[in-house]
Amino acid sequence: MAEHTIVAAGQFSVTLTHPLWNDGIPTTIDGFRLEGQMLQAQQAMDSSKIIALANGNTLTITNNNGAGSLTFNVVKTGNKGDMVKIANALKKAGDSVGGTIRVTQEINGKTEGVTYTACTVRSCPPQNIQGNDAADYQVVWNYGDSDPDDDGEEE
């Protein structure tokens, strides 16, 4: 029998916990457009590398480096969870602490999540202006490691 996956559109959340923002109280990020890509996670380096040897053999080197970057596509909201405002404030503060970003999504009636640690702002445009629409901002965070839920249930 065929398997079907059901993903609830908009049942997606991002929570930032950072000691330099909101007194370290978790902040739910807003400003994600329903249509379009909201987040892309990218590891910093490949987990495996193949080295071709002269005799036709290969050597494979693996690593467990968990670092990478998160690219969020958001619009400014002016609310407490405005990622553009938060990112620009943390850039100005000269963050040397890092925070935690937790991303959850509902898939097949269950909440699945990934927690990213040692998060710092890599880049955020100070200003984007667009005519008769809300301007998109690509806010990029670096992270030190990620930890997906083992059981698919929200912690």
pLDDT at res. 151: 53
3-state secondary structure of 66: coil
Q: Is residue 68 part of a domain?
A: yes
Q: Is residue 138 part of a domain?
A: yes
Among 90, 86, 104, 95, smallest CA distance to 15 is for 104
Q: Is residue 154 part of a domain?
A: no
How far, in Å, CA of 106 to CA of 154, rounded? 10
Which residues partner with 38 through β-bridges? Answer: none
What DSSP state is assigned to residue 34?
Answer: S
Q: What is the mean pLDDT of the chain?
A: 92
91-106: per-residue pLDDT in tens? 999 999 999 999 999 8
Q: Is residue 155 part of a domain?
A: no
**Percentage of residues of the chain with pLDDT beyond 70:** 96
Q: Is residue 128 part of a domain?
A: yes
Q: Are 138 and 72 in contact (CB under 8 A)?
A: yes
Range of 21's domain? 7-148
Q: Is residue 31 part of a domain?
A: yes
Q: What is the mean pLDDT of residues 103-128?
A: 94
pTM above 0.95, yes or no: no
CATH number of the structural domain spanning residue 133: 2.40.30
If one counts the domains in the chain, the total is: 1
Q: Is residue 37 part of a domain?
A: yes
pLDDT at res. 115: 97
Q: Is residue 2 part of a domain?
A: no
Q: What is the mean pLDDT of residues 97-118?
A: 94
